Amino acid sequence: MTAQTDASGKKLGMWLFLYTEIVLFGGLFVLYAVYFAGYTEDFIAGAKELDLFFGVVNTIILLISSFCVAAGVTAMQKANKNIALAGLVGALACGAVFMVNKYIEWGHKFAHGIYPGSDRLMDGPPGQNLFFGLYFVVTGLHGLHIVIGMTLLAVSLVLVTRQKITAQNNAVLDNSGLYWHLVDLIWIFIFPLFYLVV
Amino acid sequence: MTSFYQTPEPAGFAGIRSWLITFDHKRIALLYLFSILFWFLLAVTLGGLIRLELMFPGKTVLSAQMYNSVFTLHGVIMIFLFIIPALPAVFGNFFLPIHIGAEDVYFPRLNLLSWYLYMAGGIVAIVSLFSDGFPDTGWTFYVPFSISTNTNVSTAVFAAFILGFSSMLTGLNFITTIHKMRAKTMGWLQLPLFTWSLYATAWVQLLATPVITITLVLVVVERFFNVGLFDPARGGDPILYQHLFWMYSHPAVYIMILPGMGVISEIIPVSARKSIFGYKAIVASSLAIAIAGSLVWAHHMYTSGMSETAVFVFSLLTFVVAIPSAIKVFSWVATLYKGAIEMTPPLLFSLCFIYLFSVGGLTGLVLGAAGANIHVHDTHFVVAHFHFTMFGGTGFAFFAALHYWWPKMFGKMYDFKKAYIAAILVTAGFMLHYVPMFVLGLQGMPRRYYDYLPQYAAGNFFAGFGALCMIAGIGLMMVNLLASLTRERTAGTDDPWGGVTLEWTIPSPPPLHNFDKDPEVMDYPYDFTKVVAAGSGAASMDSETGK
């Protein structure tokens, strides 16, 4: 009779779950691919209206946050609790800054009359409606994932301070870290697709 | 020997409440069993109402708007709440860990969470019934209608979204369990075929379910924010919705049928006292179905306006999927050949399965051929075809599994005679119900229509009559099974059929931790030499005759 003994299965389960997340965003990327092929000019025009500065800053922020998480996970494996906590706090701070930037960015778009169902998009060229429709849906869903990822990191943070996560028993931290890297990775694809189209 | 029914109850959680917080895979399986039976019987009733409405021309029992809601509800419940979870969630949960010699699944808490998600999804579906009226879109929620109709599509779609999560988490749990928890001595080619089929199914669940999740999210987003991603007036393409929808929903039919094939692959060798013909071929064909079945989704869309090339490619791939299915059918028949067959209720259901599924599969080729498809597209022919595969296939496999594993799950045997009568009634009713629909479809009667021309009256009358026979048979089956629970525990249910997979080596019902001593894993899971030598026969016991 085999009982659950090792933690390697927890990691396998997490990888399987991450796979489903990739397919989830994959559905949206399929839509992007098809509409980009049909309305290339409109997509390029739409991308010019996005603020490249915010895009670049948010990309750098997420890369830093991923480094923080990776450093934290490695530190925990070496039983270095303080560095692990610092890494998690750093990643959470990056996540918060990312969301604030997103808020400002979306706010600017709304102020310019660009939001789903707005008059400007309804009456403008159909390709731009699709571009901004996809922009809001994809970055919105990604933002939701940032929030979920931050929740997981916060839970890990609490568990580390309470000594529930230790050098030997760190599956929760490991898996939260994996989730955060995935969220980061998805952004790495979103950024060029929306901000760097030429 | 104390069974898992006598688990000590945690303080403050007596009786049913101790079941609601259980992590035991066997208890969770039974929670699923009774909730799934509830939904099944409800959806059967709704299906009966549809048939009753169509039995005579003009209005019979339902208004037209009500009819649209009823066929949508019938489809949504049958697909998301019955066929998809039925075999994996009930019998997979109960027997997968036992089949591989494990104590439980790898993630027991996640397992309970899946059940709660399942129940939550069901409740949300019910809520949508009583708020703005259940959707009248059909279970496919095709745009643009699903975005423009005033009925409560959002809630129903949200229910399907939650149920998708439940199914995905079950799949994730099963894959991890099979990889990480097999008995030390059990290699991949010593797995029982039911477990193999669950493994293939779990991969499809993981591969495909996120696609429906995002599709359903987009429907809700469109309804609330009016983005226009599928609106042709604003650049969108409604065909893309159909692609995304079927990218999940066609693989989903293999989520439904693969575990059913696994059940039949268990019952046939046990009933024939003969090793399964082509163990490796059946394993390979399960995986081949999982892979090829994920590549044929657009054969639902021949008339939607795809390119000729796409139609050709998807038609070809559809024919390819038929090959592994046929391999299984031939393997089952070859297993029976020259076997020492002993008729039992599960075997009778299995034989009906083989016949009905073959008809369903062959008519699938009629639909898969691009030319013939144009003629019968969206007619009653399609309805008859998928009921032959889904109900005649998965439904009958579910009945067979119920009768095969009932004594193991409850330690009680049902009455054989009533089980045979029920099986015959259901099968005869089934034929009378769906065969006329093939004819009606070829004659051109569209599906989902509320009323029809006078020339279709005779076929619809026979179909309605068949439906009544079928419902009577299902009722008898349920009464027979449930009545056995009120009896005393039957002796000799540990291995009533002469099975040799691991679940038959332990007491019925199983003890809390499944195995009291380490299980002995056989080199080959279908070796009946000992059973044949001992001369212990299937069906050597029957609650009535008490032998």
Segment B46-97, tens digit of pLDDT? 999 999 999 999 998 999 989 998 999 999 999 999 999 999 999 999 999 9
How does B505-524 read in b/e, with b if 16+ C-beta sit within 10 Å? Answer: bbebbbbbebbeeebebbee
pLDDT of B535 > 80? The answer is: no
Determine whether the interchain pair A20/B184 forms a contact, defined as Cβ–Cβ distance below 8 Å: no
pLDDT of B138 > 90? The answer is: no
**Domain ranges, ordered by start, for chain B:** 12-534
Determine whether the interchain pair A30/B218 forms a contact, defined as Cβ–Cβ distance below 8 Å: no
Query: Does residue B520 sit at the A interface (CB-CB below 8 Å)?
Result: no
pLDDT of B1 > 80? The answer is: no
The single-letter code of the amino acid at B287 is L
CB nearest B168 (choices: A8, A20, A126): A20
Q: Would you state the pLDDT for residue B255? A: 92
Just give the CATH number of A50-195.
1.20.120.80
Q: Please, is B224 exposed, middle or buried when counting C-beta atoms within 10 Å of its C-beta (0-12, 13-18, 19+)?
A: exposed
CA distance B336 to B294: 31
- Crossing angle of the two packed helices B25-55 and B64-76, in degrees rounded to 10: 150
pLDDT of A89 > 70? The answer is: yes
3-class secondary structure, A103: helix
Query: Does residue A39 sit at the B interface (CB-CB below 8 Å)?
Result: yes
The ipTM (two decimal places) reads 0.91
Instruction: Give the distance, in angstroms, between the CA of residue A49 and the centroid of all CA atoms in the same chain.
Output: 22
Q: Assess contact for B350 and B402: CB atoms under 8 A.
A: no
Best residue of A5, A14, A20 to probe chain B, by most B CBs closer than 10 Å: A20
CB nearest B101 (choices: A1, A27, A117): A1
Q: Would you state the pLDDT for residue B492? A: 81
Q: Would you state the pLDDT for residue B530? A: 86
- Tell me the mean pLDDT in the region B473-492: 91
For the B12-534 domain, the top CATH level (class) is: mainly alpha
DSSP letter (8 states) at residue B510 = P
The mean pLDDT value of chain A amounts to 92
Determine whether the interchain pair A4/B106 forms a contact, defined as Cβ–Cβ distance below 8 Å: yes
- B239-255, pLDDT tens digit by residue? 999 999 999 899 999 99
- B264-322, pLDDT tens digit by residue? 999 999 999 999 999 999 999 999 999 999 999 999 999 888 888 999 999 999 999 99
Q: Would you state the pLDDT for residue A5? A: 58
Q: Assess contact for B302 and B243: CB atoms under 8 A.
A: no
- Tell me the mean pLDDT in the region A65-86: 94
Best residue of B105, B169, B227, B242 to probe chain A, by most A CBs closer than 10 Å: B227
Pick from B306, B309, B197, B177: which is nearest to B254 by CA? Answer: B197
Which chain B residues in 208-247 lie under 8 Å from chain A, judged by CB atoms? 209-211, 213-215, 217-218, 221, 225-229, 233-237, 240, 243-244, 247
CA distance B453 to B39: 33
Neighbours of A41 (CB within 10 A): 10
Radius of gyration of chain A (CA): 19
- B213-236, pLDDT tens digit by residue? 999 999 999 999 888 899 888 888
Q: Please, is A54 exposed, middle or buried when counting C-beta atoms within 10 Å of its C-beta (0-12, 13-18, 19+)?
A: middle
Neighbours of B46 (CB within 10 A): 20
Nearest residue of A to residue B184, measured between CA atoms: A2
Pick from B235, B264, B286: which is nearest to B401 by CA? Answer: B264
pLDDT of B516 > 90? The answer is: no
Query: Does residue B202 sit at the A interface (CB-CB below 8 Å)?
Result: no
- pTM for the full model? 0.93
Q: Would you state the pLDDT for residue B544? A: 46
Q: Would you state the pLDDT for residue B543? A: 46
Residue A2 backbone dihedrals phi, psi, to 5 degrees:
-105, 125
pLDDT of A2 > 80? The answer is: no
Nearest residue of A to residue B182, measured between CA atoms: A2
In this prediction, what percent of chain B has a pLDDT beyond 70? 98
- B338-396, pLDDT tens digit by residue? 999 999 999 999 999 999 999 999 999 999 998 899 999 999 999 999 999 999 999 99
CA distance A190 to A104: 18
Q: Assess contact for B278 and B252: CB atoms under 8 A.
A: no
- Tell me the mean pLDDT in the region A57-76: 96
Pick from A77, A89, A90: which is nearest to A167 by CA? Answer: A77
Q: Would you state the pLDDT for residue B37? A: 96
pLDDT of B144 > 90? The answer is: no
CA distance A182 to A146: 10
In this prediction, what percent of chain B has a pLDDT beyond 90? 75
CA distance B115 to B123: 12
- Tell me the mean pLDDT in the region B13-34: 91
Q: Would you state the pLDDT for residue B125? A: 87
Nearest CA of chain B to the CA of A86: how many Å?
Answer: 31
**Residue B206: strand pairing partners:** none
Q: Assess contact for B388 and B382: CB atoms under 8 A.
A: no
Best residue of B174, B176, B222, B224 to probe chain A, by most A CBs closer than 10 Å: B176
Q: Would you state the pLDDT for residue B151? A: 82
Q: Would you state the pLDDT for residue B235? A: 86
Residue B446 backbone dihedrals phi, psi, to 5 degrees:
-70, 155
Q: Would you state the pLDDT for residue B12? A: 79
Q: Considering only A160-174, B29-43, B374-388, which range has the smallest mean pLDDT? A: A160-174
Q: Considering only B8-22, B33-47, B258-272, B416-430, which range has the smallest mean pLDDT? A: B8-22
Tokens (6 digits) for B102:
């494990």
Nearest residue of A to residue B104, measured between CA atoms: A3
Residue B271 backbone dihedrals phi, psi, to 5 degrees:
-70, -25
Tokens (6 digits) for A138:
């994809």
pLDDT of A41 > 60? The answer is: yes
The single-letter code of the amino acid at B277 is F
CB nearest B175 (choices: A8, A16, A31): A16
Query: Does residue B109 sit at the A interface (CB-CB below 8 Å)?
Result: no
pLDDT class of B167 with cuts at 50, 70, 90? very high
Pick from A76, A100, A103, A102: which is nearest to A88 by CA? Answer: A76
pLDDT of B405 > 50? The answer is: yes
pLDDT class of B101 with cuts at 50, 70, 90? very high
Instruction: Report the run of H or E that residue B332 belongs to, with start and end.
Output: helix B308-336
